[in-house]
Chains A and B, each alone.
Chain A
Amino acid sequence: MVANNPVDEVVTPNRRRFLGLTGATLVGGVAGCLGGDIGGTAEVDPEPVDFDGSELTADGTSWDDLPELSGELEVYSGRREAQIGGLFDELESQYDDLTISTRYEDNETHLSLIDEEGQNSPADILYTQDSGTLGALKGLGRTAPLTSDVGEVVRESWRDPEYNWTGVSGRTRCVAYNTDSWSEDDLPTDIFGYPDDDRFTDEMGWRVDSGSFLAWVRAMMVEHDRETASQYLQDMDAAGVTDYTGGSTTPEALAAGEVSVGFVNHYYIGRLLADQPDVPVDVTFTDGDIGSLFNVSGAAVLDSSDNKTLARNFIRHLLAREGQEFFVETNSEYALIEGVEYVGDLPTLDEINPPEFDLNELADLEPAVDLLREAGLR
């Protein structure tokens, strides 16, 4: 019954369908309530919908020109409260009749949750740290299209071409290093230059349990090929890279000198430097290769939401001027609209030269999961 589906497809829709059938025999008739996606081929509406009020523009539309937000919105957030709670607070104080209920968890846990909840999910919006989870949500057929003006401000490689999710803020992978051990000139400008260089043996660390890392490995498989990515992971392992878990663990290990080179998202270092200006840590970027991949945090409206207009307007607020400025000022992230410039301790996007990469290629992360398993990282 599932044999005609290729194994490397996102497995969950198959699983759901199979569960429906197994469930019917195992627990009686209850499986009938499992929501509409049983046997579904995960189709979504590919057309954007119309918007109210002013159009979003690349210069930055003001919140004042957008429709007022009112009602109750349930957000499943993979971004942490410390990163994003302030923005929600700001929106709530802007609009008296707006209540934003937020559940904070990991991106992937939210995805599992939404999958388990089916059409009874109370969530209106999934807000994630990476684009891959949103692509996977679309793959489950659980997204609803956004407004057409999203396409005016976010370039197509940073959003779903069918308007089913969009990036809202950006970050790059970077090479963070301990300045007591290295100067910038010592460090390779090629990501593949690290595992083969004896100087870095037992000196490197990275976080392996994040969506960003998974997406990054997948990006390497897309940009090069599976063989290259596999070899790279093996070489890194042979070079004694330390596998950390948890967001700020790698920056802290760097600051403590436990490792001297770390591969992380740039904003962790931006925030470390903002909090503790004296730590001996700095960043550099590989030149135009996958080591400085630009990825986005983003959001999507759930197909099961009974509040889609509010949810769409909420996402438009994130892409308006005040929303974009919040990401830069509070989180040391990059804005996605051209009208808002980066300010902070790290280089601007123009100075870094990240590779051109279509984030839609990261929608199916399962090959990366399998590769990490093979490499013993999962």
Chain B
Amino acid sequence: MATNTSGTTETNTRQLGLTLLSGAVAAAMVFPLTWIVLRAFSVEPTRAGSILFRFRTLEIAANSIALMVGVTLLSLLIAVPLAFLTVRTDLPYRRFWTIVVALPLAIPSYLGAFAFVAIFRPQGQLQSILAPLGVESLPSIYGLHGATVVIALYTYPYIYITTRAALKTFDKSLIDAARTLNHGRWSTFKQITLPQIRPAIIAGGLLVALYAVSDFGTPAFMQAEVFTRQIYLEHRSLGGGDYAAFLSLQLVALTVFILVVESRVRGNETLYSDNSGGGGGTHRIELGGWKWPAMAFCGLIGFLTLVLPVGTFFQWLLTSQTDVPSGFQFQWAHVLNSVYVALAAAIVAGIAAIPVAYLSARYDSSAGGIFERATYVGYAVPGIVIGLALVFFGANYGGFSVGGLELSLYQSIPILVFAYVVRFIPQSVGSTRTSILQVNPRLTEASRTLGNSPLQTFRQVILPLIAPGVVAGAALVFLTTMKELPATLLLRPTGFETLVTRIWAAESAGLYGYAAIPALILLVVSGLSMVIILRQEGYET
């Protein structure tokens, strides 16, 4: 794959250093998960057996897999056409649609689920509109199917973003060549475009699949019995922590399985082209009469994922409540706190991802692959598990003294940011890795030939080229951190309030009016970071 043919001692030293660095990051990301193992091992063997081997456990596992597969497939069906429409066709108002259909990622799926339930529940708002037509009840949206639809609608942008980037960067002269050779559009897509964008689709699909198994809010709301919902229920049952540990272990096993499968299907990944940049441009596909259904499709997705929840938030604003403690009044400090921790998490994840991504993209070593995969595991583990693990380590081993001053990491910003990084670093690793794969290794060779040191080469040649990928990855971490709730609740300093903790406090008390403003601001801030992500694609649309 890469240029590592000479095998000089210098290359080996460099690779060793990078391997150690990358291994340290991977170890830090996996470390909190040892708590699950500690907990699971502390269960008496007979009890463990009776917990593990029962029909219910099998049922939960099957549901989780069904949810994951369903969400991933549905996301593909939404995301790939949208990416194609917004990059390769003359869709009217293309820039507008580009941003609109990326924005659902900015909405926490639990808020989306809330809006969906309010509107589409059997006797919800839609039913009351349809009631004069004799509709007494809508088919139930509760259950696995409802959860699948809602999660897919709020996570497909992972695939959309990666696919767009790939569509823009691959060598389009190949398409022209194929078209010259009288290949039809579909055949060109299948034989030329699809193989080129496949790694990107799979990378996005992996994020979607792992998100689907780690999401708690939506399955809980939609009453789908999957790992996360059960893990939460067990943690909330007195003495249920042991079963929760076993369920978490199974979830980790499922994640590792997915990661192995994904590395098998990832296939050949030489993404750089011999041409410079995106290669010769080709004409956009003219949609003609198809532009109407195409716009309708984009509009429908935008309506379902953005207009409905935002409309719901505005409805909340109109509900009035009395006797509310002063703490529920909106404060800008909540916004600042959210942005502060999200920015810190984005920067740490962005930097920590570079050695991991670089090693796995540039060197064909098994260690590199394993370290990269290892950073994905925390992403699939529910926030409450990461949270409790860090409560345990933080409270018991987080104290240290500096010059007689007693300090503790527990309930501090650093441990909170660390939790975010553990949960979300794969987004940064994935995006950075793709951008490294797109850099032609010959550039490194050229720089080295000109007498630059490896570090100089990295700083002056590679870093500028991969910067957009690093920034886009960090922005994804920022956006998901803004939405994160369970670990935030467990690990934040007492009294540290963010937008999501305020939304949670108001919503769990039924004070929806007070959840609306933080929810709307969350959307605006996250929406802005989405614009940054799309900007990193470079080239004018």
B240 at the A/B interface (Cβ < 8 Å)?
yes
Q: Give which listed residue, A86, A103, A115, A366, contacts B323 with CB less than 8 A.
A: A86
B397 at the A/B interface (Cβ < 8 Å)?
yes
Q: Mark A81-104, 1 if CB is under 8 A from B, else 0.
A: 111011001000000000001111
Q: Give which listed residue, A3, A80, A116, contacts B44 with CB less than 8 A.
A: A3
Contacts of B236 in A (CB 8 A): 106, 108-109, 209
- What's the Cα separation between A83 and B325 when bound, in Å? 8
- What's the Cα separation between A111 and B239 when bound, in Å? 10
- What's the Cα separation between A133 and B236 when bound, in Å? 10
Q: Mark A235-260, 1 if CB is under 8 A from B, else 0.
A: 00000000101111000100011100
A231 at the A/B interface (Cβ < 8 Å)?
no
A121 at the A/B interface (Cβ < 8 Å)?
yes
B233 at the A/B interface (Cβ < 8 Å)?
yes
- Quick one: closest B residue to A23, CB to CB? B38
* Distance between B406 CB and nearest chain A CB, rounded to angstroms: 11
B392 at the A/B interface (Cβ < 8 Å)?
yes
- In contact, A275 and B321 (Cβ under 8 angstroms): yes
- In contact, A365 and B396 (Cβ under 8 angstroms): no
- In contact, B220 and A245 (Cβ under 8 angstroms): yes
A161 at the A/B interface (Cβ < 8 Å)?
no
A22 at the A/B interface (Cβ < 8 Å)?
yes
Contacts of A49 in B (CB 8 A): none
- In contact, A19 and B38 (Cβ under 8 angstroms): yes
- What's the Cα separation between A248 and B508 when bound, in Å? 8
Q: Mark A257-271, 1 if CB is under 8 A from B, else 0.
A: 110000000000001
Given contacts A15-B43, A109-B490, A120-B410, contact A369 B235 (CB under 8 A): no
Contacts of B324 in A (CB 8 A): 82
- Interface residue count on the A side (C-beta < 8 Å): 69
Given contacts A2-B44, A103-B494, contact A209 B233 (CB under 8 A): yes
- In contact, B494 and A257 (Cβ under 8 angstroms): no
- What's the Cα separation between A201 and B228 when bound, in Å? 30
Given contacts A15-B242, A122-B494, A256-B123, contact A82 B509 (CB under 8 A): yes
B280 at the A/B interface (Cβ < 8 Å)?
no
- Interface residue count on the B side (C-beta < 8 Å): 59
Contacts of A120 in B (CB 8 A): 395-396, 399, 408, 410
* Distance between B538 CB and nearest chain A CB, rounded to angstroms: 44
- In contact, A83 and B509 (Cβ under 8 angstroms): yes
Contacts of B34 in A (CB 8 A): 26-27
A112 at the A/B interface (Cβ < 8 Å)?
yes
A352 at the A/B interface (Cβ < 8 Å)?
no
Q: Mark A189-202, 1 if CB is under 8 A from B, else 0.
A: 00000000000000
Contacts of B123 in A (CB 8 A): 256-258
Query: Which residue, A22, A112, A378, has most C-beta atoms of chain B within 10 A?
Result: A112
- What's the Cα separation between A274 and B237 when bound, in Å? 31
- In contact, B396 and A15 (Cβ under 8 angstroms): no
- What's the Cα separation between A5 and B241 when bound, in Å? 18
Query: Which residue, B39, B223, B328, B396, has most C-beta atoms of chain A within 10 A?
Result: B396
23 interchain pairs, CB-CB under 8 A: A12-B239, A16-B42, A19-B38, A22-B42, A81-B325, A82-B511, A85-B325, A86-B323, A108-B235, A108-B238, A109-B236, A112-B235, A116-B392, A136-B239, A214-B237, A247-B508, A275-B322, A369-B239, A369-B240, A373-B56, A378-B233, A378-B234, A378-B240
Task: Given contacts A104-B505, A117-B391, A275-B321, list 10 more A-B pairs with CB under 8 A.
Answer: A30-B397, A82-B328, A108-B238, A109-B490, A209-B233, A214-B237, A365-B239, A373-B243, A378-B233, A378-B234
